Chain A
Amino acid sequence: MNWQAVWAIYTYEMRRFIRTFAQSFLSPVLSTSLYFVVFGTAIGSRIDQVEGVSYGAFIVPGLIMLSVMTQGISNASFGIYFPKFIGTIYELLSAPVNFLEIVLGYVGAAATKALFIGLVILGTASLFVDLTVMHPGAMLAFLLLTCLSFALFGFIIGIWAQNFEQLQLIPLLVVTPLVFLGGAFYSISMLPPAWQTVTYFNPVVYLISGFRWAFFGAADVPVGISLMAICGFLALCLLVIGWIFRTGYRIKP
C-alpha cells in the first residue's frame, strides 16, 4: 500500500474543506436552526409526540441523515469529478497508486467531512431539544456506515458524470426526494397503508429508521434489517467501484 499517496490525496481534499471552514461549519448550524424554527416550532406545536418522542427530537436523526447523505455524495462526487474536468487526473493515473488508494483518499475525505457535519448538526440540535441517545455505539456505527457508503456512491457518480449537470442530476432527482420521502420528518406509521407499502421500496427508509432506533429505541422497521440494508448498499457500491477499477470506465481509454 502506498499510504503516502492516500495521505496526499486525503489532505489535499481536506485542505479545501478547511480553507472554507467557517462556511462548512456555519451552514449546517444555520440550516439546522432554521429547521427547528420552522418544523420544530411551527409544526411541532401542533404535533406533540411521535412514537413517544417530542416532534423536535424525532426529526433530529432524519435531519442528520439528510445532510450526511447529501454531503457525502456531493463532496466525493465533486472531489473526483474535478480532476477529470480540469485534466489533473493524469497525475493520479501516472503515479504508482492503485485504485483502492485513490478511493481511500477521496472517499475517506468526503466521509470525514460528512461525519463532521453530522456531528455539528447533532450538537446544534441538542441546543434546541432534549436529546438522549439510547444506543450511542449503534448511532455512531450507523453514522459512519452512512458517511462511507454515500461517499462511495458519490465517487461513482463523479466517475460517471461527464458534465456538471450530470453531477447534480442524481443527488437532485433521486437522493433528495428519497430522503424527504424516507421518513426523515415523519413516522411511516403516520401514512395511509397504501403509501406505507410504497415507502418500503425506498432504501433510505431503512437507514433513517435504523438511525432513529439508535436514538430512541423505536423504529419503523426492525433494526437488523436496517443494518443489512446499509451494509448491502455499501457492498453494492464496492462492487461497482471494483468494476470501474477493472475496466477503467470513463477514466482510462
Chain B
Amino acid sequence: MPAIVETRGLTKVYEDGTEALKPLDLSIEEGEILALLGPNGAGKTTLISMLCGLVSPSGGQALVGGHDIVASYRQARRMIGLVPQEIALEPFQKVWDSVRFTRGLFGLKRDDAHLEAVLRQLSLWDKRNNRVVELSGGMKRRVLIAKALSHRPRVLFLDEPTAGVDVDLRRDMWEMVEELRRDGVTIILTTHYIEEAEAIADRVGVISKGELLLIEEKDALMVRMGRKTLRIDLRAPVRAVPDGLARYDLELAADGESLSYHYDTMGEGTGITALLQDLAREGLALRDIHTRQSSLEEIFVDLVKGEAQ
C-alpha cells in the first residue's frame, strides 16, 4: 500500500520559541484509520494544521497523495477534508449555504445530490434551512463535518471530533467513519478518549511534548504493551495474603474474596503455573479465575508518565 500522507522531518517552532512539533517522520497508508493520542499541548493540532495549510512548517517536508503540501498545495489540499477542533462557523449563514460555500472554495461545481447525501447521513437534512446560530453545539459540529465532506476528500482530519459531544453524535460519528473507511478514505483523528481510538483505529500514535513516542498497530500495541491481570476468586474469604504467597505481589480485594495478579505477556514467564501450584499448597480453594488485558488507556497513562520522569 502506498503512503497517502508522509512527513519527513516535519517540524514546527512557533514565533515565541515553542517547539510544538519535533522533527517527525510519519507514513500513513491509504485507507487506514490512525488515532493520535496525546495530552493537551502535545502538538496534535499543530501537526494537523501544518498538513492542512493553516500553519507554515518550520522545517522538513510533507506529502499528501504524493503532492508536497507547500509546493503543490492545490493538489494536496484538494484531497484533504478538515474538521477543526474549535467550532468555527458563520452564525447567520444557513446550513445549506455553508456547505455549498466550502464546496465552492474547493473549485467544484454544484452537486446538490452529494450534499444532500452528506447532510442526510449526518442527520442535518431537516436543518438545512436553519441558520447556524439556531443549532445546538452537537449540530454545529455536524455542520463542520458536512463541510469537510462536501468535496469528497480522500484524507479526512478529525481534530478531537468527539470532545464534549453527546452520545448520539459520537455513535453517528463512528458509523460515519466506518462508512468512509469502506469507501477507502484515510482518516486521521486526534482524541483524548482512549476508548475511541480503541474502537475505531487501525493504528495508534502517541504524542507527548511534540514528540511521537510510538506508532503501532492497535492490536499489536495492546499485546506488546499489554499487561494482563489474573483475578482469582476464592471459595472462602481470607483476611490477608498468606505468607507463602508473599513473593507474588498479589492484591487482595477489600472483601477478601479475590486476589489479583499482574503479569506481562511479553515476559520470560508469566509465573501463572507456579502461582496456581502455590495457591493449592496454601490450601486455598478457587471458585473462578479471569484474565483481563489492560486497555489502551492504561498503556497510554504509563507511556506519558514514563515520559514525564
Kindly provide the distance from the CB of A108 to the nearest chain B CB, expressed in whole angstroms: 15
Query: Which residues of A are found within 8 Å of B54, using beta-carbon distances?
Result: 90, 93-94, 252
For the complex, give the distance between the alpha carbons of A92 and B54 in Å. 9
Q: Which B residue sits closest to A3, measured CB to CB?
A: B107
- Among the listed A4, A90, A92, A248, which residue makes an inter-chain contact with B108, where contact means beta carbons less than 8 Å apart? A4
- Among the listed A8, A86, A90, A253, which residue makes an inter-chain contact with B101, where contact means beta carbons less than 8 Å apart? A8
Q: When the two chains form their complex, are residues A8 and B105 in contact, meaning their CB atoms are under 8 A apart?
A: yes
Interface size class of A (residues with CB under 8 A): 20 to 34
**Count of chain B residues with Cβ under 8 Å from any Cβ of A?**
31
Kindly provide the distance from the CB of A102 to the nearest chain B CB, expressed in whole angstroms: 10
Query: Which residues of B are found within 8 Å of A2, using beta-carbon distances?
Result: 74, 105, 107
Query: Which residues from 60 to 78 on chain B have a C-beta closer than 8 Å to any C-beta of chain A?
Result: 73-75, 77-78
Q: When the two chains form their complex, are residues A94 and B82 in contact, meaning their CB atoms are under 8 A apart?
A: yes
Q: When the two chains form their complex, are residues A95 and B90 in contact, meaning their CB atoms are under 8 A apart?
A: no
A87 within 8 A of B: yes
Give per-residue flags for A59-92: 1 if the beta carbon is below 8 A from chain B beta carbons, else 0: 0000000000000000000000001001111111
A221 within 8 A of B: no
A97 within 8 A of B: yes
For the complex, give the distance between the alpha carbons of A129 and B255 in Å. 99
Give per-residue flags for B43-54: 1 if the beta carbon is below 8 A from chain A beta carbons, else 0: 000000000111
Kindly provide the distance from the CB of B156 to the nearest chain A CB, expressed in whole angstroms: 12
A: residues with CB less than 8 A from B are 2-5, 7-9, 12, 15, 83, 86-98, 248, 252-253
B: residues with CB less than 8 A from A are 14-15, 52-56, 73-75, 77-78, 80, 82, 84, 86, 88-91, 97, 100-102, 104-109, 147
Contacts A/B (CB < 8 Å), 16 sampled: A2-B107, A4-B108, A5-B105, A8-B104, A12-B97, A86-B90, A87-B86, A87-B88, A88-B90, A90-B82, A91-B147, A94-B54, A95-B77, A95-B102, A96-B74, A252-B55
